[in-house]
Amino acid sequence: MTTGSGAPRGSTRLAAVIGSPVRHSLSPVVHNAAFRAAGLDWTFLAFEVQPSALVAALDGVRALGIAGLSVTMPHKEDVAHLVDELSDDARLLDAVNCVVNDGGRLVGHNTDGPGFVAALEADLGVTPAGRRCLVVGAGGAARAVVLALGRAGASTVVVANRTVERAEQAAELAGAAGRPVALADVADEVRLADIVVNATSVGMGLQGSADVAFPPDALRPGQVVADIVYQPLVTPLVAAARRRGLAATNGVSMLVHQAAVAFELWTGTPAPVAVMAAEVEQSLATLGEPSPR
Ligand code: ATR
């Protein structure tokens, strides 16, 4: 059943990422390393798919029996409307980052939120249950984080965003725990939170910049800080939090854990998370440039 050598043969199962651009995706190296480590006869490829070819691509997945897909920019929302079935999370988020091919029936999932919560636990030893959480941002990644924090039992999930209407929509995902605020009023919420999350793109790709989405002066001892940005590895927010003695983590672990959840959905096998993390870290260190999954 297994080869471990990585050479495809007749029985090899295929998973793939679709996106545009997809050249710099980390998914192939991460998942191929995971398949090898788990001794699975699977392989993983990246397919550049334009929006105009998305329907044909998904028909191709069905026709060819491709076992699993990762979905990245710009297709996450469109795929949610093209699969045969959606998980609860994918339906609520109206976005799919992972597809399972169940005998020709495509089931869309969203693993970003569970990946974020797993990363919080793995990196910072924190579980959201009963905690006051602040999420800055209200885009696709932020929405997944808000939903997951609410599901994990956070006592409050305050959502702060530059565009306050988007904060209102995102906060609803946390149910009764959710509350929107304008970004201009965020400092008080920063002071009150146990877990502070940057889920905006602010700070991305700006080595040496001091860009943060909110003033870090309001951070206080005892809080933990999670930034979903991972380029640079030490983001301006992570650096600011650590200077104040706070435990802080970047978005690498979320990237790894959302991939691990996808791996488990496709294969039914526990993901070799440590191998996947080492692969991502090595790729980011050698690439030295922004690398969307
Ligand atoms: P993604 O789906 O990857 O999360 P997105 O939907 O473009 O990306 O969302 C980006 C997030 O970063 C949004 O919350 C955005 O705020 P708006 O909703 O007001 O656009 C936030 N963001 C981007 N640049 C920002 C900036 N300079 N200051 C504050 N927030 C910013």
Note the pLDDT tens digit of each residue in 150-160: 999 999 999 99
The helix-helix angle for 140-151 and 164-171 (nearest 10°) equals 30
Q: How far is the CA of 138 from the centre of ligand 1 (A)?
A: 7
Q: Which two tokens stand for residue 281?
A: 């870290």
Q: What is the CATH topology of the domain spanning 113-250?
A: Rossmann fold (3.40.50)
Q: Which fold has domain 13-110+254-286?
A: Rossmann fold (3.40.50)
pLDDT digits (tens, 9 = 90+) for 198-225: 999 999 986 667 799 998 999 999 999 9
Q: Which residue has the CA at smallest separation from atom 11 of ligand 1?
A: 200
Query: Can you tell me which atom of ligand 1 is nearest the CA of 183?
Result: 29
Q: Domain extents for the chain? A: 13-110+254-286, 113-250
The residue among 170, 214, 166, 165 whose CA lies nearest residue 188 is 214
pLDDT tens per residue across span 241-264: 999 999 999 999 999 999 999 999
pLDDT bucket at 5, cuts 50 / 70 / 90: low
* Residues framing ligand 1 (Cβ under 6 A): 137-142, 161-163, 166, 200-202, 213
* 57 alpha carbon – ligand 1 mean position (Å): 29
The pair of structure tokens assigned to 186 is 């965020």
Counting beta carbons within 10 angstroms of the beta carbon of residue 156, is it exposed (0 to 12), middle (13 to 18) or buried (19 or more)? buried
pTM: 0.94
pLDDT tens, residue by residue, 86-141 = 999 999 999 999 999 999 999 999 999 999 999 999 999 999 999 999 999 999 99
pLDDT digits (tens, 9 = 90+) for 59-77: 999 999 999 999 999 999 9
The contacts of residue 99 (CB under 8 Å, 6+ apart) are 61, 68, 69, 71, 79, 83, 106, 107, 108, 109
Q: What is the 17 CA–ligand 1 centroid distance (Å)?
A: 24
How much is the pLDDT for 210? 72
Residue 3 reports pLDDT greater than 60: no
Is the fold of 13-110+254-286 the same as that of 113-250?
Answer: yes
The pLDDT score that the predictor gives to residue 291 is: 43
Query: How far is it, in rounded angstroms, from Cα 76 to Cα 122?
Result: 26
At 177-191, the pLDDT tens digits run: 999 999 999 999 999
Structure confidence at residue 217 (pLDDT): 94
Q: How remote is the CA of residue 137 from the centroid of ligand 1, in Å?
A: 6
The predicted pLDDT at position 6 comes to 63
pLDDT surpasses 60 at 292: no
Interval 16-55: pLDDT, tens? 999 999 999 999 999 999 999 999 999 999 999 999 999 9
Query: For ligand 1, what atom is nearest to the CA of residue 201?
Result: 12
Q: Which residues are catalytic?
A: 76
Residue 129: CB atoms within 10 Å: 10
